[in-house]
Structure 1
């Protein structure tokens, strides 16, 4: 007597078999397979472990700008102590009535009007970096730098005593 098994879920290659004889001949019986525990030859054991700490990359790339630049434009009236420009490297140099702060910022020493000029730059001979730059320039080349000046305002309503009567 042959049993027809069209829905063998244990072995897909036996779906076309028309008897349970192929399962029994190979030592496989569906009822005992469900009731008996599986035979384990190699038993995997998991122990507690901790992953190693990974490194983080690309830190600090999104910092805000430092707002360097000109604070008072040409022609603006400034008071003594007003900051004229902030800079990281020397982009503008202090001229007449302009001081240089700790972090290379320029400030007004007197009240007056701001003026920007391009002037020929002659470095000091004691400055070795500037002297090296000048010696590498071609013959006859001239260095120009931007200088910031404050033109003092004339005080109104003051008179000079010429003679006493």
Structure 2
């Protein structure tokens, strides 16, 4: 037996239903809400359906992070008696371990560099801090007659010859 569908009754059934308008709301924490609102002719009715998004449990704390990091390579780069050009780095330091002497400059990160071409010399000298510095306040606590010795890095410039000898070229 052949079954026939009554399309007129089906369309008549759908026409009797109120027109429904649906939209989705985006809420915090990845929850979306589907709201169904009927048309203005029928009484107002709202239905909400909460859909929860994917979530992950918070991770725990980890220990021993960064304990095996490589060193910063601080230290002297040129030894006593080495020849250097202007601009060469003589020493890198985190705290001031070596002080700049003659023909030596100090950078923003306490790096010592040569100001002229010459030979590097390390010397121990008596250190007199500026009067208004914190070091001078700590020196007042030292016994009378005590002196501070600090290591200074100096560059001895290369002497230029004043007299030139003519060389015969054949």
TM above 0.5, one fold? yes
Kindly report structure 1 stretches of 4+ aligned residues shifted beyond 4 Å.
none
- What is the CA–CA distance in structure 1 between the aligned matches of 2:62 and 2:151, rounded to whole Å? 43
Once the 2 structures are TM-superposed, how far is the Cα of residue 73 of structure 1 from its aligned partner? Answer: 0.4
Query: Which ranges of structure 1 fall in alignment gaps of 5 or more residues?
Result: 1-49, 161-165
Normalising to structure 2: TM-score of the pair? 0.60
Match of 2:146 among 121, 141, 146: 141
Output aligned runs, 1:1-165, within 5 Å: 53-127=59-133, 129-156=134-161, 158-159=162-163
- Greater relative contact order structure (CA < 8 Å, 6+ sep): 1
Query: Which ranges of structure 2 fall in alignment gaps of 5 or more residues?
Result: 1-55, 165-170
More strand by share: 2
Secondary structure at the residue paired with 2:135? helix
Distance 1:51 1:155, change over 3 A: same
Count of residue pairs brought into register by the alignment:
110
Distance 1:55 1:142, change over 3 A: same
Secondary structure at the residue paired with 1:80? coil
Quote the RMSD (CA, aligned, Å): 1.8
Deviates more, 1:90-99 or 1:59-68: 59-68
